[in-house]
């Protein structure tokens, strides 16, 4: 009996000792090293452009926690530390003041105010802050100025509180923080140096959330004659052109100017370009939004050899839909290598480009940020040379076509077509009943690229148009058509089950601003100038 008492007493003592030991450590102290255990299940959630939420399993013996961030996985340098004021006392924390679209590495450790040594660091985790997507920036550039503009989608917060422009050495050229200056979502930086790279930065408070480099244009290409036109100019434009001696002609037209292109006797002939001259016509405006453009009233460009034609920032009004073109090809034309059109409006013509030369002209054509409207039977792009000419490439972006009977057609069997690409374009009242959107006649040569991307097809010009007649089938990506543009087959195009009048604000007057908030392509399709 005595032995049994001793055994029971010993067991009670051992059990009590174990219980006290457990209460002392609560399994939060690493006894072998006499310090706190490291936090486990360290994770991130809810990453934004400037914040992130951290969570981990709580260590009750910890008085507070330290979270460290680094821009490298090896933590060669600690970028930021949270909790130095002992404010992190629970198992969750929101870190702020981060840079958008940036990779970070994070670790955490337990700290004690009771004399217990700190824990080891947790396992390192990584996360990436989001890019600030609710503000979209764009630049318009000339030789001596840069215009920075930004779009804040409806319902989003305008995060732009400061814009800084720096030179290549990092010195600040201009810093704008005044809310009144930023209210219009556009800034003009003037008196800059031609052909120079600058760097702009956009801030939300103290946080840099977007930046980019932009280079000003050359003041003028070598070997260029400059003709400057405004409303006080009295000389005939063709007389001024004929007097040039260099290989390139730059015609600069001041904002607010209307230029009537006629010969000395007043006949409606259009521009007369000397042999071998490349021509650039540029309106002097500071915004690329197709407004307040200088006006050119003209019939056509007359030439035999013109290596390149560039039209920028001008509103061209043709002399009528019966016999007016930008390029009216003639039999004696032997050179036209490149055509570039940017930030223009072109209207009231029979067609834009009509290649008729017996020589196989094959220009590369790029059109951007342009509205083309009110064209008759020659449409936008046409070729009919018996020699098989055409267009080496046609690349059109961010543009609107309204009231055109044809988009592209070849009356011959062309061999020059290689690339046809339309992206982010709005089409309305386009293509006659029974005619093709793209008609390459009897062409047999396959195209390397034939695509429509992010396009909206509104109403047809009349009746039921057809899609394409070409040896290569086009691809349609994120493209939509209304019920009043209804060819029998348009594979890959998404149906918008309403009319153009339901989708656009006022298509009959040329206002294609998307008004249907339920339209799934409202933020991604059509000419960006019309997106809400």
Whether the per-residue pLDDT at 9 is higher than 50: the answer is no
At 10, which helix (H) or strand (E)? helix 2-25
CATH of domain 29-128: 2.60.40.10
CA distance 87 to 132: 29
Q: Is 383 exposed, middle or buried (0-12, 13-18, 19+ CB in 10 A)?
A: buried
Sole residue written with tokens 């690229």: 449
DSSP string, 348-389: EEEEEEEE--SS----EEEEES-EEEEEEEEEEEEE--TT--
pLDDT of 467 reads: 86
Tokens of 115: 């004399």
pLDDT of 23 reads: 36
Q: Report residue 182: phi and psi, to 5°.
A: -90, -10
Q: Report residue 234: phi and psi, to 5°.
A: -105, -20
**91: helix, strand or coil:** coil
Which residues, 6 or more positions from 452, have their beta carbon under 8 angstroms from its beta carbon? 422, 423, 425, 474, 475, 476, 477, 479
pLDDT-based confidence at residue 354 (cuts at 50, 70, 90): confident
pLDDT-based confidence at residue 471 (cuts at 50, 70, 90): confident
- The 10 Å Cβ neighbour count of residue 175 is 12
Whether the per-residue pLDDT at 27 is higher than 50: the answer is no
Q: What is the mean pLDDT of residues 444-452?
A: 85
pLDDT-based confidence at residue 414 (cuts at 50, 70, 90): low
Find the DSSP H helices in 161-200.
Answer: 179-182
Indicate the DSSP class of residue 460.
B
Whether the per-residue pLDDT at 343 is higher than 60: the answer is yes
CATH fold of 136-215 reads Immunoglobulin-like (2.60.40)
Least confident of 6-15, 28-37, 69-78: 6-15
pLDDT digits (tens, 9 = 90+) for 197-242: 999 999 988 888 789 999 998 878 788 999 999 999 999 999 999 9
Q: What is the mean pLDDT of residues 505-530?
A: 96
Contact of 273 with 279, CB cutoff 8 Å: yes
pLDDT-based confidence at residue 17 (cuts at 50, 70, 90): very low
Whether the per-residue pLDDT at 30 is higher than 70: the answer is no
pLDDT of 507 reads: 96
Of these ranges, 249-258, 379-388, 460-469, the one predicted with the greatest mean pLDDT is: 249-258
Whether the per-residue pLDDT at 10 is higher than 50: the answer is no
Distance of CA 491 to CAs 478, 487, 488, 522, 529, Å? 12, 10, 10, 21, 26
Whether the per-residue pLDDT at 12 is higher than 50: the answer is no
Pick the more confident residue, 447 or 340. 340
Contact of 224 with 241, CB cutoff 8 Å: no
pLDDT of 244 reads: 96
Q: Where are the domains of the chain?
A: 29-128, 136-215, 226-530
Q: What is the mean pLDDT of residues 11-30?
A: 42
Tokens of 426: 């709005």
| Closest-CA residue to 105 (of 123, 92, 85, 93) | 123
Q: What is the pTM of this model?
A: 0.68
Matching CATH topology for 29-128 and 136-215?
Answer: yes
What's the mean pLDDT when you consider all of the chain?
86
Least confident of 1-10, 189-198, 383-392, 468-477: 1-10
CA distance 339 to 327: 10
pLDDT digits (tens, 9 = 90+) for 54-89: 999 999 889 999 999 999 999 999 999 999 999 999
């Amino acid at each position: 009996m005595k032995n049994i008492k001793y055994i029971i007493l010993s067991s009670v003592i051992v059990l009590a000792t174990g219980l006290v030991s457990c209460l002392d450590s609560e399994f939060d102290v690493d006894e072998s090293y006499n310090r706190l255990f490291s936090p486990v299940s360290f994770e991130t959630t809810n990453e934004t452009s400037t914040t992130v939420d951290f969570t981990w399993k709580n260590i009750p013996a910890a008085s507070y926690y330290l979270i460290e961030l680094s821009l490298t996985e090896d933590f060669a340098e600690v970028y930021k530390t949270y909790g130095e004021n002992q404010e992190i006392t629970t198992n969750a924390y929101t870190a702020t003041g981060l840079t958008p679209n940036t990779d970070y590495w994070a670790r955490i450790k337990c700290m004690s105010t009771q004399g217990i040594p700190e824990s080891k660091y947790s396992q390192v985790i990584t996360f990436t802050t989001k890019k600030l997507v609710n503000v979209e920036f764009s630049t318009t550039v000339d030789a001596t100025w840069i215009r920075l503009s930004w779009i804040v989608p409806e319902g989003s917060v305008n995060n732009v509180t400061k814009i800084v422009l720096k030179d290549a050495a990092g010195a600040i050229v201009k810093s704008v923080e005044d809310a009144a200056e930023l209210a219009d979502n556009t800034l003009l930086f003037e008196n800059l140096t031609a052909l120079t790279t600058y760097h702009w930065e956009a801030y939300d408070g103290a946080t840099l959330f977007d930046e980019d480099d932009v280079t000003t244009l050359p003041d003028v290409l070598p070997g260029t004659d400059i003709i400057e036109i405004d409303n006080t100019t009295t000389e005939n434009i063709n007389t001024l052109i004929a007097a040039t001696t260099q290989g390139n002609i730059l015609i600069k037209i001041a904002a607010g100017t209307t230029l009537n292109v006629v010969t000395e006797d007043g006949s409606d002939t259009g521009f007369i370009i000397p042999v071998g001259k490349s021509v650039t016509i540029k309106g002097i405006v500071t915004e690329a939004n197709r407004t307040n453009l200088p006006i050119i009233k003209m019939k056509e460009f007359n030439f035999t050899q013109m290596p390149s034609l560039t039209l920028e920032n001008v509103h061209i009004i043709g002399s009528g839909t019966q016999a007016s073109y930008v390029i009216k090809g003639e039999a004696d034309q032997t050179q036209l290598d490149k055509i570039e059109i940017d930030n223009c409006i072109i209207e009231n013509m029979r067609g834009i480009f009509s290649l008729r030369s017996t020589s196989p002209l094959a220009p590369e054509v790029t059109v951007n940020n342009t509205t083309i409207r009110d064209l008759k039977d020659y449409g936008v792009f046409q070729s009919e040379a018996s020699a098989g000419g055409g267009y080496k490439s046609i690349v059109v972006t961010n543009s609107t076509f309204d009231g055109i009977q044809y988009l592209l057609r070849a009356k011959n069997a062309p061999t020059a077509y290689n690339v046809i690409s339309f992206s982010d374009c709005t089409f309305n009242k386009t293509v006659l009943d029974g005619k093709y959107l793209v008609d390459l006649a009897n062409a047999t040569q396959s195209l390397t690229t034939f695509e429509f991307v992010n396009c909206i097809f509104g109403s047809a010009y009349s009746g039921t148009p057809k899609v394409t007649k070409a040896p290569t089938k086009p691809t349609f990506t994120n493209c939509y058509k209304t019920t009043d543009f209804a060819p029998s087959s348009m594979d890959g195009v998404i149906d918008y089950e309403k009319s153009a009048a339901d989708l656009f604000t006022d298509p009959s007057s040329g206002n294609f601003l998307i008004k249907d908030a339920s339209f799934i392509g409202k933020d991604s399709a059509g000419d960006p100038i019309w997106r809400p």
